Amino acid sequence: MISKAISIFIQSINDYHQFDCVDHIISNPYSSGSIDALLYHKNWIDTVQWHLEDIIRDPNIDPVEALKMKRRIDASNQERTDMVEFLDSYFLDLYKDVKTDEEAPINTETPAWAFDRLSILQLKIYHIDQEAKRTDVDIIHIEKCCEKLEVLLQQERDLSVSIEQLLNDIAIGRKKMKVYKQMKMYNDPSLNPVLYRNEK
């Protein structure tokens, strides 16, 4: 499953870069509700946000546009979290009939958050690879990017093995899967003091 997820993330990244536009509408090629569609959608959100984060760091950006961009990034963060929770719902359903050992520990992160890390890692690999292929920079820049790329590829191998082991442990009941909903407060007008004070 890990290699398939990586290929879906790469497909999403490549599809985005055909247009390289944060406003381009996603065209998910997978069946709605499938794990493949969820993974593709998850990475598309990550890819758009990656580029929003680049844009907002433009030193010449108009302050009004920067504020709009910051709000958009906040909304994207919430969408990213929601998508992770959708993915975890898939895994909870997948392993719902597994008899778990009474002494089984809980992992520090859920499968979906591990896939979130894998999705972001694919973006790092893609963009460092692009930097390593530039023809308008000196050899030192290229060498540094190639070194970083090697580290990222090793991280991809290690993370892939770790996720595979986690899924196997859950599937045989060696680890418990427990999900805590993310309780982000800053977007909630009833929990963010700045928001609820302004409503009075």
The pLDDT tens digits of the residues spanning 107-142 come to: 999 999 999 999 999 999 999 999 999 999 999 999
Q: Can you tell me which residue has the tokens 């023809």?
A: 135
Judge residue 135's burial from the number of C-beta atoms within 10 Å of its C-beta, 0-12 exposed, 13-18 middle, 19 or more buried.
exposed
Q: Beta-carbon neighbour count of residue 131 at 10 Å?
A: 16
Q: Indicate the domain borders of the chain.
A: 2-191
Residue 186, pLDDT above cutoff 90: no
Contacts of 87 (CB under 8 A, 6+ apart): 35, 38, 39, 42, 111, 112, 115
The pLDDT tens digits of the residues spanning 78-115 come to: 999 999 999 999 999 999 999 999 899 999 999 999 99
Q: Which two tokens stand for residue 114?
A: 């591990």
**pLDDT given for residue 60 in this prediction:** 96
Beta bridge partners of 176: 106
Q: Beta-carbon neighbour count of residue 87 at 10 Å?
A: 22
Q: Which two tokens stand for residue 106?
A: 């809980």
Distance CA 14, CA 53 (A): 18
The maximal CA–CA distance of the chain, rounded, in angstroms, is 59
Supply φ then ψ for residue 189, to 5 degrees.
-65, -15
